Amino acid sequence: MDKTVFEQKYKNVKFLVSEEFSKFESLFEEIFSFDISDNNKNQLLPILKDFFSIKGKRIRPLLIFLFSGMLGIKENKNIYQLALADELLHNATLIHDDIIDCSMLRRGHHTLNFDYDSKLAVLAGDFLLCKVMEILSDFPDENVRNIHSFAMSNIINGELNQYFSRYKLITIDEYIEKSKNKTACLFEAGIVSLGYLGNKSDIQINALRNFAINFGIAFQIKNDLDNFDNPEKINEDISNGDYTAPVIYYLNEKYPDKKINFSSIKLVTNQLKNSSAIPNTKALIKKYMNLSIENLSFLEDNLYKQSIIDLCNLYIE
């Protein structure tokens, strides 16, 4: 799908919760507001304000607002706190990922570790994590705090597993497990928290959990596939020994004896694009997105649910 077409369809999905997003963006900006005349101001705030001026997809807040509408718990200040906490946590992991991967670019602009250094970038990521804990400490339901604590632990374990499996040809199942820990667990934390905030039944909460995990896995696979249209990113992944689904499929096809030879990353990526690796990866995305749609069958039909399904189908396309 053309990028412009995707972005327009994505905006159409967001339109249903445009009011919530407007309030969310105002609250988000308040976190990094500072008085330029204050000699004791936090010097990190203007740096982070500039970092966040380039916005991502905001898909975690989007899902939180859509699910809160679907579950009938729209008017609740905790929903905005949840959206803020999850977006901050996500960006903290991105900043730390950029340090680990020695990335120069993020969303088309220089990373913090490139513009400054890894020391400041570590502090910036840690600052965001502190903000997350500050926001979550105010939640009335300890289940919300517990599931986010568990998610943070899983994210770190996912990063550790990725580090220790560098340059190793892992299986697709191992890759899925890594994606579950690194990405899906944060989707799970936010969406399942809504179930707790809305006092939903165990069956409904389980449906929310299954959706979040399957969606998160598919989302990570799609992100890894999209990296093949970004020479800088895919060269970085392969150079760092971080083999994603397309690479795993290709290597299993090209090197069944496991004797891998990356004589030229450009040659490998060109060969990969003409192999079965790409269609196999697309099929894997479709599998997990369809599972996430099936998980919604336990929940009531309404406009918000349809928008969530539209979002899933958008990633399948």
pLDDT in tens, 147-158: 999 999 999 999
CA gap 147, 136 in Å, rounded: 11
- Does 3 reside within a domain? no
Distances (CA, A) of 21 to 11, 62, 79: 12, 8, 11
- Does 6 reside within a domain? no
Range of the domain at 255: 12-316
105, β-bridge pairs: 110
- Does 39 reside within a domain? yes
CA gap 44, 41 in Å, rounded: 9
Query: Which whole number is the average pLDDT over 234-260?
Result: 80
- Does 175 reside within a domain? yes
CATH (domain of 274): 1.10.600.10
**Is residue 209 within 8 Å of 188, Cβ to Cβ?**
yes
What tokens appear for 229 in the block?
A: 């249209």
Query: Which whole number is the average pLDDT over 188-210?
Result: 95
- Does 85 reside within a domain? yes
Residue 18 banded pLDDT, cuts 50, 70, 90: very high
- Does 100 reside within a domain? yes
Q: How many domains does the chain have?
A: 1
pLDDT in tens, 261-312: 666 677 777 888 888 999 999 999 999 999 999 999 988 899 999 999 999 9
Sign of the dihedral defined by the CA atoms of residues 124, 126, 127, 132, in that order: positive
Would you list the DSSP string of 170-196? --HHHHHHHHIIIIIHHHHHHHHHHHH
Torsion from C-alpha of 205, 131, 139, 22, nearest 10 degrees? -70
